[in-house]
Amino acid sequence: MRCPQCDSTRMRRSRSRNRRERRIRFFLPVRYYRCHECNCRVPRLTARALGEAVGRYALLIVGAVLLWRAFRFVFSFLLGY
Ligand SMILES: [Zn+2]
């Protein structure tokens, strides 16, 4: 891949620096890359990150469904159904 600013190919994976970026990375399938020529940071959509994000979403949905079922069970118990 190439840097959008200086067209260099010296791009490296970059770690998330702050909480905001980690949050973005958690919800969006992007990876940040840093250019070693001009030092700019570029978010990139990658297939692997996409797979991880889909897995996370699936886990979230399964967790929400289980939580909802437990909730309904407790409520029906309390209401005496
Ligand atoms: Zn650059």
Per-residue pLDDT tens digits of the chain, which is 81 residues long: 889 899 999 999 887 778 887 887 777 888 889 999 999 988 888 898 899 889 989 999 999 999 999 999 999 988 886
Task: Classify residue 59 by burial, with Cβ atoms within 10 Å: 0-12, 13-18, 19+.
Answer: exposed
Range of 29's domain? 11-79
| Predicted TM-score of the model (pTM) | 0.60
Q: How far apart are CA 1 and CA 12, in angstroms?
A: 10
Is residue 23 domain-resident? yes
What pLDDT score was predicted for residue 69?
96
What pLDDT score was predicted for residue 81?
66
What pLDDT score was predicted for residue 44?
86
Residues lining ion ligand 1 (Cβ < 5 A) are: 3, 5-6, 8, 35, 37-38
Question: How many domains, the chain?
Answer: 1
43 alpha carbon – ligand 1 mean position (Å): 13
CA 45 centroid distance within chain: 11
10 alpha carbon – ligand 1 mean position (Å): 8
- Among 53, 55, 8, 16, smallest CA distance to 35 is for 8
